[in-house]
Amino acid sequence: MSERTHILGIGSAVPDNVVTNDDLSRVMDTSDEWIQQRTGIRQRRHIAADCGGTDLGAIAAREALASAGVGIDQIDAIVYATLSPDIDWPASANLLAAKLGARSVPAFDVRNQCSGFLYSLASADALIRAGRARHVLVVGGEIHSTGIDLTTRGREVAVIFGDGAGAVVLGPSPDPQRGLLSTHLHAEGRYAEKLWLESASSRKKPRIEPADLDGDAPRAFPSMSGRYVFKHAVTRFPEVIQEALAANGLRVEDLDVLIPHQANLRINQFVAAALEMDEAKVVNNIDRYGNTTAASIPLALAEAMRDGRVSEGRLVCLAAFGAGFTWAAALFRW
Ligand code: ACO
């Protein structure tokens, strides 16, 4: 059997600036009660000044490298998951690599929104299994606060998202019985319009114009069919988790910890109920950080590793659903 990939170290970073539901209700028509009831979110972090996802990502990455005991000179590839790249191009992974002082190793972005971290994990695992890399740095970084409409017009989306970053160092597992068992990736592009950011667009000249920022549904802000997304999420999450378990001859009862993407606490409660899982086995921290998209799984995993919920021998499933639509799962024997 080839060596298994495992997470050798983890790090996380969020901005200091806490934005509560009450803070939002001062700039838009919303309330703490509405937000908590629909999403479970109490607060999120927003950057206070000029700060890119790769700035947070670099802090998380340094922590991950230190906890893995791996130097940046030992990293053979860098994968950066985001829907909010610092700039349009080149890839933010390049900016991150420069900040970290990486060697001239491959660095690329994965633009798969809420599933981005798991798509990145699967890509990194493939590089390691193919012998193309020994250690890969995977970082999920997201700055939403500069791209959402913080007025009543944008409230359905704006209250959900927060800024943050999480990073892992992947490498060969010290024990062949432990590590990543399998990854499962899916996409269904016909639903792209149900959750997207349409502008700026290379299909148009100019790519963005003042009208994109005006009107009832401005194209320069994310647009989401909330209920539609919710309905698909509560179907696809259990499906892909079951798929990962079945691929390894395991069942829901075997699962010790589920770390779902933090899109909405209600979605995660639905998923636990659909799988007939004890909610205590499901890791949620959306109440404090909101939905940080590609960063949400490593942020939650970092927390669960620190407090001991994720520990040696446990069966741990990471799962995501988001824009695309895309959805994914990764199963680990820790
Ligand atoms: N504060 C107060 N009222 C609001 C807010 C708000 N922040 N946002 C919307 N409303 C209003 C609407 O205008 C609407 O009013 P109306 O009935 O007068 O038209 C009403 O509240 C809508 O209420 P509900 O339909 O009951 O809202 P729902 O229960 O569907 O919750 C929500 C909305 C939270 C967005 C939900 O649909 C959801 O979580 N969907 C999934 C979101 C998600 O998971 N996104 C994926 C992650 S993003 C990614 O992948 C990049």
Ordered by where they begin, the domains of the chain are: 5-172 (3.40.47.10), 179-333 (3.40.47.10)
The one catalytic residue among 114, 135, 232, 268: 114
Per-residue confidence at 65, pLDDT binned at 50, 70, 90? Answer: very high
Q: 87 Cβ partners below 8 Å, 6+ apart?
A: 95
CB 194 within 8 A of CB 225: yes
Look at residue 14 in the predicted model and tell me its pLDDT: 98
pLDDT of residue 217 exceeding 90: no
Read off φ and ψ for residue 289, nearest 5 degrees: -120, -5
User: Residue range 295-323: average pLDDT?
Assistant: 98
What digits encode the pLDDT tens for the residues 124-172? 999 999 999 999 999 999 999 999 999 999 999 999 999 999 999 999 9
Look at residue 322 in the predicted model and tell me its pLDDT: 97
Look at residue 2 in the predicted model and tell me its pLDDT: 66
pLDDT of residue 70 exceeding 60: yes
User: Residue range 12-18: average pLDDT?
Assistant: 98
Per-residue confidence at 226, pLDDT binned at 50, 70, 90? Answer: very high
User: Residue range 260-279: average pLDDT?
Assistant: 97
Q: Which of 20, 38, 44, 289 to mutate to test the pocket of ligand 1 (most atoms within 8 A of CB)?
A: 38
Pocket of ligand 1 (CB under 6 A): 30, 34-35, 38-39, 113-114, 155-156, 159, 195, 224, 226-227, 229-230, 233, 263-264, 267, 291, 293, 322-323
Element spanning 53, H or E: helix 53-68
> What tokens appear for 114 in the block?
């809420």
pLDDT of residue 304 exceeding 70: yes
User: Positive or negative CA dihedral for 19, 20, 23, 24?
Assistant: positive
291 DSSP 8-state letter:
B
User: Residue range 245-249: average pLDDT?
Assistant: 98
Annotated catalytic residue 291: yes
Residue nearest to atom 42 of ligand 1 (CA): 226
> What tokens appear for 16 in the block?
């200091």
Q: 14 Cβ partners below 8 Å, 6+ apart?
A: 45, 56, 162, 163, 164, 165, 289, 292, 299
Q: How many CB atoms lie within 10 A of CB 191?
A: 17
User: Residue range 79-104: average pLDDT?
Assistant: 98
190 DSSP 8-state letter:
G
323 DSSP 8-state letter:
T
Ligand 1 centroid–CA 226 distance in Å is 5
User: Residue range 99-106: average pLDDT?
Assistant: 98
pLDDT of residue 68 exceeding 90: yes
Contacts 24+ apart (CB under 8 A), 91-94: 92/52, 92/53, 92/54, 92/57, 92/141
